[in-house]
Amino acid sequence: MQPQATMHDKPQSVIETGTRKKHIPLPTNYRKARKYVQMAVEERRNIDSLLEQDRHFRTGRTIVGRVLCNLPKIDAIYSQLDLATKEPGLTPWVARVLISELLYGSGRLVSNAPAVECIRKYEEQLRTLHAAVEQTSVECTGTKGVSFTIPRFVRINTNLLSIPDAKSILAQENWTLVEEKFDDYRAFLARVKALSQSEYIEDFHFPEMLVFPNGAKQFWGRARHLRDQFILQNKVRVSAVTYLLRPRKKSVVLDMCAAPGLKTTHLATLMKNKGRIYAVERNSDRYATLTQMVSSYGVIKTIHGDCLTVTDADVPGVEYILVDPSCSGSGMHQRLYEKEQQDEQRLHKLAGLQYKILSHAMNEFRNARRIVYSTCSISTTENEEVVHGVLRHNGHFRLLDARQELGKEWLNVGSPDFVGIGERCLYARTDDDLTIGMFVAVFERCPEGVLNEVYLAHEKQKQSYERLALMRCKQPVLDVINDEDWRPEAPFAGKRKVATMEQPTHDQVTEESAGKKLKSKHTDEQVEEKLAGKKSKKGGKTKLPE
């Protein structure tokens, strides 16, 4: 007779009630985090507004943000442990959320649900892999040299808080300011990499931008009481773009693709909340996010519509325009780690849209004096090629040197393949600048009577083509090169093409000679008749020789 099983012999995740087994569900926080993380990654949706609206998921932003920030490392650990094979019944996205909480969150898992118990079995192996991943960059995804220690950038809202007051608040929160000043950008970046978990430093380029270590994202996820005074944003995604636009107080600004509104609100801060900013957004959901973000700024007026249909009459007096259109996002952190084949057809469609928006900005608004074009892409198709295209067809705007406009050292510029363009544009590279990948170009309206050099070169080339086409219309088809005809003044600068001529046959030559003789005979007879007529008019008779 076998011993009777007791409750302690059962798995902790299953309790037997009579003849029925009670299943312990996964906690709501883990379940909802799985939903939002999967939505953000697979559907590439903006989940910020959804998290704000979900009142029953108060810790949602912290848990979801923790997973997304550490996702490359979590994916590497998940793959090396081969959980998909060992635990086929475990949902991959649930596993990622639980691994994140165990290794990057509180360090422990709550509940005895089956999925939680499954992850607990591998806790020792997970911590071993975690230690190995933290020491080296992940190469399993094909991206080499990209470090995971990307810092956290936080901007002080100077409309509400001065920089000294902001530092005082951070000191009360036990943060230590690194007061060292740097003249060299590389030395600054080296110090950023060495920040301890309790230190922060002022940014090298922008005074109200503060740089925190990567682990600070957990603090800022919980610090809801500081959300108005401190704004979490990427350095180059917002600050570099708005500083390069450089609008004056009381000026009129147009943000053509404004949602979610971080750049728009920063522009309002730079303008001291004086003047007018028109913020345009086409997508309904993103427009709702935009209106919520800018609601406290009286200087900002939102427009729900397509920026390509906005006219000068709709936004009178616009002087400064920000063009940050939809792009492939190839510079975003997550894309840097993904093995994603480049879709050339999609890139060209995006580049076509970007060209249309930028051209519309240059031609529709007659008072526009400065335009900044930016993308979070590292593809030349969406960047240098678009810039070259608009300059070639719009001579009244010229490209400025963005590094000179920034006024401080910057490491990366555009491709040398685009002479006169690449060296004037800025790139942010994750490996160097510890930010997302980014591209920025600055345009300025040319003085009256001046055209940009790209446009002039294009027009000169067009005229040469037109002259060549005209020459070909007037002359026979040119398809033979005469090696003996070397004429410096010839249009082909040397060996000139001459027309192909058919050699006449012997019969053709004979017929032509006979025709000429007959024509000559008729001509002699006509001459004699004319001479006879002239003499008869004089009344005299002239005897013609026999």
Which residues are marked as active site? 376
**Which one-letter amino acid corresponds to residue 53?**
Q
Closest residue by Cα to residue 222 from 173, 276, 167, 162: 173
In the 8-state DSSP scheme, what is residue 281? E
Q: Residue 233 contacts by C-beta under 8 Å, 6 or more apart in sequence?
A: 153, 154, 155, 239, 262, 266
- Sequence ranges of the binding site for S-adenosyl-L-methionine: 281, 306, 324
Which residue type sits at 214?
N
Separation between Cα atoms, residue 383 and residue 377, nearest integer Å: 8
Contact in structure between 107 and 173 (CB atoms under 8 Å): no
- The helix/strand/coil state of 234 is coil
User: In angstroms, what CA-CA distances link 379 with 211, 290, 348, 486?
Assistant: 27, 27, 11, 46
Cis peptide, bond prior to residue 488, ω within 30 of zero: no
Q: How far apart are the first and last CA of the chain?
A: 160
The H or E element containing residue 135 is: helix 123-135
- Residue 339, SS3 per DSSP: coil
Candidates 318, 356, 237; CA nearest to 303 is 318
Amino acid sitting at position 422? G
C-alpha span between 390 and 377 (Å, rounded): 18
CA–CA dist 295, 526 (Å, integer): 102
Task: Dump strand ranges (E) for 425-513.
Answer: 426-428, 438-445, 478-487, 494-499
Residue 364's SS3 state is: helix
Runs of H (alpha helix) within 139-293:
163-172, 185-193, 216-222, 241-245, 262-270, 284-293
C-alpha separations of 368 from 44, 252, 288, 319, 397 in Å: 34, 9, 28, 4, 10
The binding site consists of: 281, 306, 324
Helix H, strand E, coil C: the string for 7-59 is HHHCCCCEEEECCEEEECCCCHHHHHHHHHHHHHHHCCCCCHHHHHHCCCCCC
DSSP category for residue 435: S
